[in-house]
Amino acid sequence: MKKTLLYLSIALAVGGCTTKKDLILFNETNVTLPNAKNSVTDLSHESRYEYRIVPHDRISITMYNHPELGTTSVQSQKQDLNGVLVNSKGQVRLPLIKSIHVAGLTQTEAQRKIEKAYGAYLEDAEVSLEVLNKRAYILGEVKNPGPIRLFNEKATLLQIIAQAGDLSTSANRHAIVVMKHRRNKVITKTVDLTGKDAIKVATMLIYPNDVIYVTPNNMKAINVGINDILPGLDILGKVMQPVVNTKYLLDL
């Protein structure tokens, strides 16, 4: 029993070497120091991005002059949560114009295409279109993992982490994996939120369908191991208790 506890203590001492620096974001940039000087980070490298509709997206369509033809209307007090589904062929089915292909188009391009199609039947067709399911996903060592809705079509990495309730104490701030989905490719990048480029990393733009995985630190593995050991130690303690009590009585 004593040996088990000794090994447990050694494991904690060796593995539990998480320092304050490991928990502070941007610690190598000096911005977290008292009386730190103002800094400017150039973000001009970020390119222009527009989301393109893909099969199985849900889109909301507002027909300003003919609300009965849209999935929602300006007068409606309810948010359009369902919209209309883009089928596996990339088409949506709408009143009058029936099926129209929108996959691969930006929201603006799809809006104009639908307006043009309705123009064959209506003189004042005016359409507003929005993709409803634009989300990024964060999992791993954050307090609230799951989908994050992107109301503005994009958000920074730090904003996504903030919406997920912040990093947990078990998060490895040196290794956060970002998987960016671009057309038929997935671009993977592992970033460090404590290094010299942490400001630029934190402002990395995250777009719909991107996935962020926050890896665990070494202490997480130790904690899991301890949790696995503790039930066994508890049972061992209960088994040994009568023996200890007997020895105590004999020594009296």
Q: What is the mean pLDDT of each run of 10 residues along the chain (252 residues)?
A: 48 51 59 55 66 94 89 74 92 93 96 94 90 95 95 92 94 92 86 87 93 84 50 55 51 56
pLDDT digits (tens, 9 = 90+) for 57-86: 999 999 998 888 888 877 765 677 789 999
**Chain-centre distance of CA 201, in angstroms?**
15
CA distance 179 to 149: 17
The pLDDT of residue 14 is 46
The pLDDT of residue 227 is 52
The pLDDT of residue 60 is 94
Report the half-sphere exposure of 119 (CA within 13 A, side-chain side): 8
The pLDDT of residue 248 is 47
CB atoms within 10 A of CB 53: 21
The pLDDT of residue 29 is 61
CATH superfamily of 58-131: wza like domain (3.30.1950.10)
Domain boundaries, the chain: 2-15+219-251, 20-48+134-216, 58-131
The pLDDT of residue 158 is 94
CA distance 95 to 162: 41
Strand partners, 166: none
**What does pTM read for this prediction?**
0.70
CA distance 80 to 64: 15
Strand partners, 151: none
pLDDT digits (tens, 9 = 90+) for 19-52: 555 556 655 565 555 555 555 556 565 667 889 9
According to CATH, the topology of domain 20-48+134-216 is Outer membrane lipoprotein wza fold like (3.10.560)
The pLDDT of residue 12 is 47
